[in-house]
Structure 1
Amino acid sequence: MKQKFSNAGENFLQRRYGVRLGRRYVLAAASVVLMGVIGCSQVNSSTSAFAESGLPRSESPIPKSMSYPDIKLITANTKFGFKLFSEVLKNDSGKNIFVSPSSVAIALAMTYNGASGSTKQVMAKALEFKDLNLEQINSSNAVLKKLLENPDPKVQLTIANSLWANKEVSFNPDFLQRNRDFYTARVANLDFTDISSPAIINDWVSEKTRGKINKIVEKIEPSQVLFLINAIYFKGSWTNEFDKQQTAEYPFYLSSGQQKQHLMMSQSGDYKYYENQQFQAVSLPYGKDGKISFYIFLPKQNSSLESFYQNLNAENWENWMTQFSKQQGFIRLPRFKMDYDITLNNALTAIGMGEAFSNQANFSAMGKDLKISEVKHKTFVEVNEEGTEAAAATSVRIMPLSAVEPSLEPFRMIVERPFFCAIRDNQTGSILFMGSIVEPQS
C-alpha cells in the first residue's frame, strides 16, 4: 500500500532540503553487487532487458508519523563506519585511504534483508543493528534517503538502487519486495548468457553517477544470477570557494620526516573550529546552508596521525562534533586527488561477520544455499578550490555454498602533514566518506 508524507511534511522537506541541482563537483558511489544462485519465486520475465518484475512498484512504506530516521540507525551506522575504518587502517597502514561507510552500510543493510538464523545475528552485531528490528532498519533507511537527497540548492545528493536478475532464475518475493519498497530498488531481468549484459548494468551505474563510476561489473560468471546495485551521487561546491590566485606550492611533511612541495589552497574567514591538546579540526561547508561539510582533523606537531587514530571511535566523534564553535581563522589545505581500492572480507570478518563468508552462512531469506564470497570497495576523491569530487563502489558477491559561541583569537591551521578527513551530513549526522591522507597527490 502506498504511503506518503502529509502535505505539510512534503512542504517542510522542500523548504528545508531544496530540490535544485548544484553546479559543480560530483561525489558518486556505486555500491554493492550481489551475485548468486537463488531459488524461490521467479522475477517476471520480459523480452526487455530493463523489464520490471511483475510485482507492483510502490513508494517507501514510511509511517506517516515518521519524519526522521530512528537515531539508533544513525548511531549504528556511525559505530559500524569507525569499526570498519579501523580495520582498513590495519590492512593499509601508511597509505592514503578513502572509504564510504554510508555506501557500505546501505549495501549491507540491503543484503541483511536476505539473512536468516545465526548469519542474521552476526551481521546484526557487526552492523550494530542489535537494538533495531528489520522494520526499523528498513523504514529508517527509507526516511534517511529522503532527508539526505537534495539537501541544498548548491548541493545535490541522490541515492539509487537496482536489482538485476537472471531471467531464468527465481527469487524470494519478500526479499525483492522489501528492497523495492524501502530502498526504492528497481527490479529488472537480464539474459545473463548475453555478453552485452554487463554493459547494461554498467550503463545504469554510469547514468546514476553521472559518469563517475563507469564499470562495476567486469563479467558475469555462470554461477552469478543476481546483481544488487546501490549508487550514491553528490554534487556540491564550497560555501566559500578558495581563490585560485592564492594557491601556491608549499612543503608537505610526510610521516617519514621527508618533505615534498605540493599545491596548497589558502583562505581566511569564519569557520566552525575545534582544538584540543592532540589536534586542530575545522569544518568546511558545502552549499548555501552548510548542511554537508568536509571535516579535517590535523594532529599537533608533537603528536601523530597514528596517535589520533587510537582515539578515533564513535563515542569520541560524537563528543567532538559538539565542541565546534565559530571562530575566525586561516586555513591552508592541500589540493589532492587519489584512487583507492580494497577487498573488505578481512575487515568485515574481524568485526564479526565471518560466518557470512563461510559454508555456515544462512541467506535463506534471499534464496537457497548462499554465502558472500567477496566484498570489494573502490573509491576516487579530488579536493580543489571549487569543491569536492569523489566516487565509491562496493560490490558484495554472493556465491553458492561449497552546537552563544565564545569570542576567540583567530586560529591558523596549516594542513602540511598527514591528516584525517570526513564528509558528513550535519542534519542527520551520517558520515558519507572518511579518509586518511598521508601523502596528497595531484
Structure 2
Amino acid sequence: MKQKSNARENFLQRRYGVRLGRRYAFAAASVVLMGVIGCPQLGNNTSAYAQTSQPRSESPMSKQPSSPETKLVNANTKFGFKLFSEVLKNESDRNIFLSPSSVSLALAMTYNGANGSTREAMTKALELQGLTLQQINSSNAALKKSLENPAPEVKLSIANSLWANKEASLNRDFIQRNQEFYTAKIANLNFKDTNAPNTINQWVNDNTEGKIPKIVEKIDPDQVLFLINAIYFKGRWSDEFDKAQTSDRPFYLISGQQKQHPMMSQKGDYRYYENQQFQAVSLPYGKDGKVSLYIFLPKQTSSLKSFYQNLSAENWENWMTQFSKREGLVRLPRFKMDYDINLNNALAALGMSEAFSNKANFSAMGKNLKISEVKHKTFVEVNEEGTEAAAATSVGIMPLSARVPSKEPFSMIVERPFFCTIRDNRTGSILFMGSIVEPRS
C-alpha cells in the first residue's frame, strides 16, 4: 500500500507541481485576490497526498434539487448588496464598480478551507446559512456552467486558479474540491523568484482579455498561496445605439457642477420601471436578452444617497418583478473605468475579521494560516456597441414581465449620478454593480 501511495503522490507532484499535505493553506484572488500567510510556528505535519479527480462531465445539478442553487443565488445577492453598502461608506464621492460574483467565488473557494468559528463567521458574512458545503460547491459548479457564454453575441468566461509556494503542503480534500467544483488551475511557484508575480499576472491578463493586466504587485516572503478568480464579459446590445445620435450634453455632478460628456440616445421598447424615487430601465444584450444592463436613475426630487438607503436584496427582488415593456427614450452617458479596492475592512465589517487575524482557523487547508489580503479589480466600458467588463459573477432567477402597452412613452435622461448592474436574467445573478457619479470616457 505504501508503494501505491508513493506512486500516486509522485504522479500528482508531476502533474500539478504542488506537494499536497496538511501543512499550509491557500488564499484567494481573482478580480479578487486573497493571500494566505502562515503564522510563525508551523508544525511539521505528515504530508498527505490529494486524491485529485477530473471535473465532472455532467453538471452536479443533475444530482441535486434546484433549491440549493436558488438559495446560493439569493445568498450571493444579499452578500453583494451588503458588500457594496460597506464600500460605499468610504467611497460615495467616487465611481465604484464591483463584481460581487467574483468576490463570492473567491471566498467560496476559501470557505472550503475554513473550520470552527472562522467558518461560522464566513457563513454569516456570505449569507450561506442553511446550505451544506456540498450544496455550496455543487451549486457554484452548476451556476458557472449555466452563466458562461449565454448567447453568440455575449461572451462570459469564469476562470479560477490556485498558486502555491513551492514549499506549500496542501490538504488533499481542499485541493480536490477546488479542482472538481471550481475547475481551478493548480500551479507551483517559487515565491522568492522575482518573476513569480509576473507569472500570476499573466494568467489574470489572459483570462480578462488584457483588461486587468496586474493584480499581484509583489509577494511577501511569508506568503503561502494565492487563489485567483477572473471573470470576463463582453456583450453587444440587442439594439445598438446609433453613433450619429451621440453628442456632448451636460452631466450634473453631485456638487451641482456640470460637465459636457458624450451622451448616447435611443428610442424603442424597453423593460422599464418607475416609482416616486427613481426610474429604471433594462438594456438587453444579444438577440434573446438573456443578460441586461440595468440603470437606476434617482429622480431630481431625490438623490443617489437616498436611493442607496433603500438598496437591499429584498427591495431588489421586489423591483425586478415590477419591470414591464414600455416605449420610451433613453439617453445614457458613454463611460469607461478601471477600479480597484482592498476589501479587508469591508469584509471585516461584515463579520469576517477573525479570518484576517491570528485566531483564524483554516485547518481544512493547513495549519496556522490566515487571510492576508482580499484585493478586487474591475474594468468596464459602455459605448454604442455594447459593454465590456472584467471581474465577477452573482446569481438570481426572475421571469420577464409582460408588456403593458397602455402607458405613455417615458423619457429617461441619465444626466446625473446613477446606479447600474449587469444581470443574468435567466438565473437572476448580478454579475457586476456600480455607482457612477462622474462618467469618464
- With the length of structure 1 as denominator, give the TM-score of the two structures: 0.86
Residue aligning to 1:58: 55
**Matching of residue 131 in structure 1 with residue 130 in structure 2:** yes
Alpha-carbon separation, structure 1, partners of 2:258 and 2:290: 35
Residue aligning to 1:271: 270
Asked whether the 8 Å contact 1:43–1:189 carries over to 2, the reply is: no
Alpha-carbon separation, structure 2, partners of 1:88 and 1:162: 26
Residue aligning to 2:19: none
CA apart distance, 1:193: 2.6
CA apart distance, 1:177: 0.6
Go from structure 1 to structure 2 and tell me whether the alpha carbon gap of 1:171 and 1:164 turns closer, same or farther (over 3 Å shift). same
| SS in structure 1 of the partner of residue 37 of structure 2 | coil
**Matching of residue 405 in structure 1 with residue 403 in structure 2:** yes
Residue aligning to 2:181: 182
CA apart distance, 1:225: 2.2
| SS in structure 2 of the partner of residue 35 of structure 1 | strand
Alpha-carbon separation, structure 1, partners of 2:347 and 2:198: 29
Alpha-carbon separation, structure 2, partners of 1:380 and 1:289: 25
Residue aligning to 2:312: 313
Asked whether the 8 Å contact 1:67–1:143 carries over to 2, the reply is: no
Residue aligning to 1:362: 361
2:169 partner letter: S
Alpha-carbon separation, structure 1, partners of 2:419 and 2:186: 38
**Matching of residue 74 in structure 1 with residue 68 in structure 2:** no
- With the length of structure 2 as denominator, give the TM-score of the two structures: 0.86
Alpha-carbon separation, structure 1, partners of 2:274 and 2:105: 32
| SS in structure 1 of the partner of residue 279 of structure 2 | strand
1:306 partner letter: K
**Matching of residue 288 in structure 1 with residue 287 in structure 2:** yes
- How big is each residue's C-alpha offset from its partner over 1:350-394, in whole Å with a ceiling of 9 and x where there is no partner? 111111112211111111111122222222221111111222389
1:237 partner letter: R
| SS in structure 2 of the partner of residue 220 of structure 1 | coil
Asked whether the 8 Å contact 1:148–1:157 carries over to 2, the reply is: yes
CA apart distance, 1:143: 0.3
CA apart distance, 1:70: 1.8
Alpha-carbon separation, structure 2, partners of 1:81 and 1:145: 17
Alpha-carbon separation, structure 2, partners of 1:199 and 1:94: 33
Structure 1 range deviating more: 269-278 or 384-393: 384-393
- How big is each residue's C-alpha offset from its partner over 1:165-184, in whole Å with a ceiling of 9 and x where there is no partner? 22222111111111001101
Asked whether the 8 Å contact 1:243–1:266 carries over to 2, the reply is: yes
| SS in structure 1 of the partner of residue 60 of structure 2 | coil
Structure 1 range deviating more: 100-109 or 341-350: 341-350
Asked whether the 8 Å contact 2:280–2:294 carries over to 1, the reply is: yes
Structure 1 range deviating more: 83-92 or 167-176: 167-176
Asked whether the 8 Å contact 1:43–1:165 carries over to 2, the reply is: no
Residue aligning to 1:222: 221
Residue aligning to 1:416: 415
Unaligned runs of 5+ in 2: 1-29, 394-400
Alpha-carbon separation, structure 1, partners of 2:240 and 2:371: 43
Alpha-carbon separation, structure 2, partners of 1:301 and 1:261: 19
Go from structure 1 to structure 2 and tell me whether the alpha carbon gap of 1:294 and 1:243 turns closer, same or farther (over 3 Å shift). same
Percent identity of paired positions between Structure 1 and Structure 2:
71
Residue aligning to 2:326: 327
1:31 partner letter: V
Residue aligning to 1:117: 116
Alpha-carbon separation, structure 2, partners of 1:111 and 1:289: 35
Go from structure 1 to structure 2 and tell me whether the alpha carbon gap of 1:293 and 1:67 turns closer, same or farther (over 3 Å shift). farther
Unaligned runs of 5+ in 1: 1-28, 45-52, 395-402
Residue aligning to 2:10: none
Go from structure 1 to structure 2 and tell me whether the alpha carbon gap of 1:378 and 1:116 turns closer, same or farther (over 3 Å shift). same
- How big is each residue's C-alpha offset from its partner over 1:272-294, in whole Å with a ceiling of 9 and x where there is no partner? 00001110000001112111100
Aligned positions, number: 398
Residue aligning to 1:85: 84
1:405 partner letter: R
| SS in structure 2 of the partner of residue 161 of structure 1 | strand
Structure 1 range deviating more: 325-334 or 182-191: 182-191
RMSD between superposed Cα atoms in Å: 2.0
Alpha-carbon separation, structure 1, partners of 2:33 and 2:287: 32
Asked whether the 8 Å contact 1:205–1:231 carries over to 2, the reply is: yes
CA apart distance, 1:58: 2.9
CA apart distance, 1:32: 2.8
